[in-house]
Chains A and B, each alone.
Chain A
Amino acid sequence: MRDKGVGATMRDMVVGSQRRTELLRGVLDLCLLAVMNEEPAYGYEMTKRLRERGLAIVGEGSIYPLLGRLERDGLVETYRAASDGGPMRKYYRPSSTGRLALALGVSEWRAARDAVDAVLAPVKVEVIHE
């Protein structure tokens, strides 16, 4: 009976991948601004940089509409240049407004992360597999 209750509770909770998707959705624009701030990048290059840091965006939808929004809002500048031995690509880099937005966003993220950590850090959960 107890196991069944726990199982039902777990089913009702958002499963890990969905939670990860929701969390990432709110900060993906910051992540894109951050990786292009290191060095201008085109779409797929940004995806690669994110993946190299363990941030696969499967399930989050494409980054392209998000890049379009950043461009429309004046947070990025674009230019076309040939990639290494490849075709002409559209490169993105943060504008001055984008760098300011990145700084503010990082500050907000850290504040939110610290607050959540303060709540969750003391939690000690032991999961027993039977």
Chain B
Amino acid sequence: MSDFIEQCRSEWRRLGVPDPLAEEMASDLASDLSDAAADGVSAEELLGSSAFDPRSFAASWAAERGIIPAAPGRRNARRRPLVLVAFTALAALALIVAALLLLTGRPTVAVAVSRATGARLPTAPPAFFVPPGPSRQVLHTSAAAPVAWLLLFLAIVALGFAAWLWSSWGRSRPPSVPA
């Protein structure tokens, strides 16, 4: 059992548990294991399945006492939905704003395609110009349109990303068990 306690000490040291607290836990555990052995009680009866995994036992004990931060998975599991909800709501808001900008504004975008035939392009000054080639495109637009289109694009990408995050979160969630 001294090996078990030594492994616990080692884990507490690795996790940054202050020495006095680690010593207190190790001392209590050693006394209890000693008493149990004197009563003919095995370490497994006292520690349950933890008797076979000293490092997890040590980490769990320190975390439950609040000496070290809880395992990231557990905290994130509670925090992640809130972050995801906020992110999804923001993306949806951006989508709505972009759609409103595009729907309520004047027609602001026109695309003209000219093959390499020398056809004249519309007279309005182009906002974007693609270098000449076999075909070329000129996008005529107002100053506001690129922002709206960019916002729409970003919102769609963000919503797709949010959907992926939700599905990945749903898959990674541990089954709920009684505390």
Chain A contact residues, CB within 8 Å of chain B = 22, 25-26, 29, 42-44, 47-48, 56-62, 64-66, 68-69, 71-72, 83, 86-90
Count of chain B residues near A, Cβ 8 A: 29
B36 (CB) vs chain A CBs: closest residue: A44
- Please measure, in the bound complex, the distance between the C-alpha atom of A48 and the C-alpha atom of B46, giving whole angstroms: 9
A88 (CB) vs chain B CBs: closest residue: B27
Is the Cβ of A43 less than 8 Å from the Cβ of B65? Answer: no
Which of B31, B35, B50, B178 is in CB contact (< 8 Å) with A62? B50
- Please measure, in the bound complex, the distance between the C-alpha atom of A86 and the C-alpha atom of B31, giving whole angstroms: 9
B45 is an interface residue with CB less than 8 A from chain A: yes
Chain B contact residues, CB within 8 Å of chain A = 24-25, 27-29, 31-32, 35-36, 39, 41, 44-50, 57, 60-66, 177-179
**Least Cβ distance of B17 to chain A in Å?**
12
Given A25-B178, A43-B32, A44-B35, is A58 in contact with B44 using a C-beta cutoff of 8 Å?
A: yes
Is the Cβ of B65 less than 8 Å from the Cβ of A69? Answer: yes
Given A58-B44, A61-B48, A61-B49, is A42 in contact with B32 using a C-beta cutoff of 8 Å?
A: yes
30 A-B residue pairings within 8 Å (CB atoms): A25-B179, A42-B28, A42-B31, A43-B28, A43-B32, A44-B31, A44-B32, A44-B36, A44-B46, A48-B39, A57-B48, A58-B45, A59-B48, A60-B48, A61-B50, A62-B57, A64-B57, A64-B61, A65-B60, A65-B63, A65-B64, A68-B64, A68-B65, A69-B64, A69-B65, A71-B65, A83-B31, A89-B28, A90-B24, A90-B28
- A residues near B35, Cβ cutoff 8 Å: 44, 86
